[in-house]
Amino acid sequence: MKYMKLGTKPDTFHTEEAVRSVVSDIPADLIIHVNNTKYQLHKFPLLLKCGLLQRLCSDTDDGDEEPVPVALHDIPGGEEAFELCAKFCYGISISISAGNMVSAMLAARFLRMTEVVAKGNLVAKLQTFFDSCVLLGWKDTVAALQAAWQISGWSESRIVQPCIDSVVEKILMPPSKVTWSYTYTRPGYNTRKPHQSVPKDWWTEDISELDIEVFRSVICTVRASSQLPPPLIGEALHVYACKHLVDPLHVGSSGVLHQAPQTSAAAEETLVAKQRRVVESIVTMIPSETGSVTGRFLLRLLRVANYVSASSSTRAQLIRQAASQLNEARAADLLIPLPSDPETYDVGALEAVLEHFLAQFQRPAAAEERRRMSATMTKVARIFDEYLQTIALDRDFPVGKFVHLVECLPDIARSDHDGLYYAIDIYLKEHPELSKADKKRLCRLIDCRKMSPDVRAQAIANDRLPLRTIVQLLFVEQERTIGAAAGGSNAADGGAGDRASVGVISQLAARTKDEEPASSAVHKSDDAHIPRRDHTRVADGTAAAAMTRSLSVSTNTPPVARKERTPEETGSRMRNKQ
C-alpha cells in the first residue's frame, strides 16, 4: 500500500478537558464543533486554505476578542477527516493512504480547499495521489472503493466509478500480466514465488471485501465483457458467499446467526436482513450456464435463503438449479434447517428439489442421454438414502412422514436397497415404540431382491425386523442359492448363502414358537375373533416353519438314489395287492 506524506511540522494537537487544540503562543480565535468534538483553533492558517470557513467567518469583526463559533456537523468523514485537513493547514506532517484518502478528499472538498482558494491546496494534492498511485495499485483501489462506498455510496461517483473501472480492468487482464500483490489463501497454495503462475481466480478474495452493491456492479461489468468463463464468475460468487453468509447448519440451537453470547432482537433482525440482501443478490448474479457453480453451493444458498426467508422467486430459482445438479451433492448438503428450529430439518424444501429433479426424466431423450440420466438417478438415490439415515435419527419424526419421504423417489430410481434398509433399520432402532403395523409398513418399502448378499444376511439376523420380512428374506436367499447352484459358477457363494440362512433358522423357529398363541387347541370358530394382525402372525409362523423344513431338507439331507426293483419283487407286490 502506497503513502503520501504532507507537511513537515511535528504534531502538536492535544486533548485537554474534552477539547482538541494545538500548541501555540497565540490564543485561539476560532471554535469549531464537529459532532461531539470541540476544536479551539486559529483563523489565520485555516482561512487561508478553506473557502467554506472564509465565507462563514466573513461577517465577523477581526477586532472581536471572543472566538468565532462554527458548526461543521455534516462534514464527510467526521472528526478524523476534519483533523487531517486542519493539520494540513497548520503544516503539520500527515500521512495519506488509500485508507484515509477518500475521507480526507471528501472533507477537503466540503471545506472548499481548492486551487481557487490557494495554490497547492489539499484537494489537488489528494487528486494527484488518487490518479497516480491509488488507481494504479490493486489493493489500494479496492480499499479506496470500499471506503468511498461506506462514506457516500453512489453519490460520490468521482471516486467510486474510477475505482470500479480500475478494478474491472485489472480483473480482465491475463494472469501472466499480473505483477501486483493480491490475497489468495486457498488450501495448498503458498505465498507466490518467483516464476510461479498466477491462479485465474487471483482477484476473488480481495473483491469479496466490498459491499454487496459494489460487488454486484463489479461482477456485472465483468460478465458484460464476456472475457471470463462462467465458472470463474461462479467461483467469485462462492468466495463472497463463504465470507458473508452463515451456513444455517452451523447455527446453534438458539437460532442466532452469529456467535455473540448476547444478541438483541433488533441486532439479530438487522443481521438476518443483511443476509437476505446478500443471498438474493448473489442468486441474481449466478450465470445461466450449467456448471458455472456447483450443486453443493446451490444447496448451501438454498439453506440460507430458506433460513432468512428470502423472496419466493429466489428460492424457486435455487430449487430449479439445485435439482439440475443434484448428483453433485452429498447427504449433508440435503439437510435444510427450519428457521424456527435449526435442529429440525425442513423436508418440504428437499421434496421440492426432488420433484424438479424427477421432472427432467419425463422429457424425451436420446439413448446416450438416457444412459447418463440413469447413472445420475442411481447416484442421487444413494445420496438420498444416506440423507434418510440422518433423518431417521430424529426421534420426533413421524413414521407416516418418513414413509412419504422414502416414496418421493420411485422404485425404479434405486438400483439396490442396501441404503434404504440401513435407513429403515436406524428408524426402527430410534423408535422402539412403533407398533407392529407401522414396522410392517416401513419394511414393505424394502425390496429384498435388491439387497446385496451381505446386507441380506445381516437383515435375516436382525431382531428389529418383522417376521414376515425375515421370511421374505429367507425365500429370496433360497432362490439365490438354488440359482447359484444351477449356474455352477457361483457354487461357492451359494454355499455361503446356505450357511447364512441355516444359521438363523434356529432363531427364526424359536421366534415363531414365541409368537404362537398360548393354547394350541384353538377351535376353528374362534378364528373370527382373532385380529387381522394375528392372522398374519399365524400365517407368518406357518410359513416360517415350512421355510425351516424346506431349508433343512435342502441343505442337510443328501439326495437318495431311487432303488430299482427286480422283476421278482414287482411280481410279489402285485400278488400281495390281489
| Mean pLDDT, rounded, for 346-356 | 95
Do 359 and 376 fall into the same domain? no
16 grid coordinates: 485537554
Give the model's pLDDT for residue 564. Answer: 43
Q: Exposed, middle or buried: residue 192 (CB in 10 Å: 0-12, 13-18, 19+)?
A: middle
How many whole angstroms separate alpha carbon 422 and alpha carbon 428?
Answer: 10
Question: Count of domains in the chain?
Answer: 3
Do 372 and 464 have their domain in common?
Answer: yes
| E strand map for 98-255 | none
Instruction: Return d(Cα 448, Cα 480) in angstroms, integer.
Output: 11
- Give percent above pLDDT 70 in the chain: 80
Burial class of 445 by CB neighbour count within 10 A (0 to 12, 13 to 18, 19+): middle
**CA nearest to 293, candidates 378, 236, 358, 211:** 236
Residue 42 has pLDDT above 80, yes or no: yes
Count the residues in the chain: 578
Cell, residue 161: 466509478
277 part of a folded domain: no
Residue 535 CA to residue 468 CA, distance in Å, equals: 12
Residues 300 and 413 in one domain: no
Classify residue 226 as left (phi > 0), alpha (psi -120 to 50) or beta: left
Domain co-membership, 376 together with 353: no
C-alpha cell at 152: 457516500
Q: Which of 496, 431, 500 is nearest to 459 (CA)?
A: 500
Q: At what angle do helices 295-307 and 312-324 cross, to 10 degrees?
A: 160
118-132, 277-291, 505-519: least confidently modelled range: 505-519
Cell numbers for 148? 468511498
Domain interval for residue 127: 3-134
* DSSP annotation of 92: B
What's the Cα-to-Cα distance from 514 to each of 467, 471, 518, 527, rounded to whole Å?
12, 16, 9, 19
Comparing 60-69, 204-213, 324-333, 447-456, the range with the smallest average pLDDT is 60-69
C-alpha 376/C-alpha 353 separation (Å) is 15
Backbone angles phi, psi at 409, to 5 degrees: -95, 130
Same domain, 402 and 468: yes
Query: Residue 253 falls within a domain, yes or no?
Result: no
Question: Which of 363, 390, 408 corresponds to the end of one domain?
Answer: 363
Whether residues 324 and 385 share a domain: the answer is no
Whether residue 151 is contained in a domain is answered as no
Indicate if 313 and 370 belong to the same structural domain: no
For the four alpha carbons of 80, 85, 89 and 91, in that order, the dihedral sign comes to positive
Residue 336 and residue 405 share a domain: no
Q: How far apart are CA 63 and CA 280, in angstroms?
A: 62
33 forms beta bridges with 38, 71
Q: Are residues 392 and 320 in the same domain?
A: no
Asked whether 334 and 350 are in contact (CB, 8 A), the reply is: yes
**353 and 376, same domain (yes or no):** no
pLDDT of residue 339: 87
The cell numbers describing 556, all together, are 442337510
Q: Which of 483, 500, 524 is the last residue of a domain?
A: 483
Q: Residue 91 domain-assigned?
A: yes
Is pLDDT larger for residue 374 or for residue 189?
Answer: 374
Cβ pair 75, 110 in contact under 8 A: yes
Cβ atoms of 453 and 417 closer than 8 Å:
no
Q: Are residues 347 and 444 part of one domain?
A: no
- Residue 212 CB neighbours (<10 A): 17
Residue 9 lies in a domain: yes
pLDDT at 121 over 90: yes
CATH number at residue 81: 3.30.710.10
What angle is formed at CA 365 by the lines to CA 362 and CA 371, rounded to 5 degrees?
A: 100
Mean of pLDDT values over 335-340: 91
| 349 falls within a domain | yes
Half-sphere exposure of 154 (CA within 13 A, CB side): 5
CB atoms within 10 A of CB 320: 15
Per-residue pLDDT at 190:
64
Query: Which residues touch 311 (CB under 8 Å, ≥6 apart)?
Result: 280
Domain assignment of residue 393, yes or no = yes
- Residue 229 pLDDT > 90, yes or no? yes
- List the grid coordinates of 371: 444412459
Of the three residues 483, 500, 527, the one that is the final residue of a domain is: 483
**Per-residue confidence band for 187, with pLDDT thresholds at 50, 70 and 90:** confident
What is the per-residue DSSP string for 249-291? Answer: GG--TT--SS--SS--HHHHHHHHHHHHHHHHHHHHHS-SSTT
- Answer whether residue 161 is part of any domain: no
Spatial separation of the C-alpha atoms in residues 383 and 403, rounded to whole Å: 17
Residue carrying the nine cell digits 476473488: 204
d(CA 184, CA 204): 8
Nearest to 228 by CA among 219, 237, 239: 219
**Average pLDDT of the segment spanning 81-88:** 97
396 and 305 co-located in one domain:
no
Question: How far is 565 from 18, CA to CA, in rounded Å?
Answer: 127
Residues 6+ apart with CB under 8 A from 519: none
Evaluate whether 103 touches 151 at the Cβ level (below 8 Å).
Answer: yes
Three cell numbers at 147? 471506503
Split at pLDDT 50, 70, 90, the class of 265 is: confident
Phi, psi angle pair for 435, to nearest 5°:
-75, 165
**Mean pLDDT to the nearest integer, 186-199:** 71
Contacts of 345 (CB under 8 A, 6+ apart): 335, 336, 337, 338, 391, 394
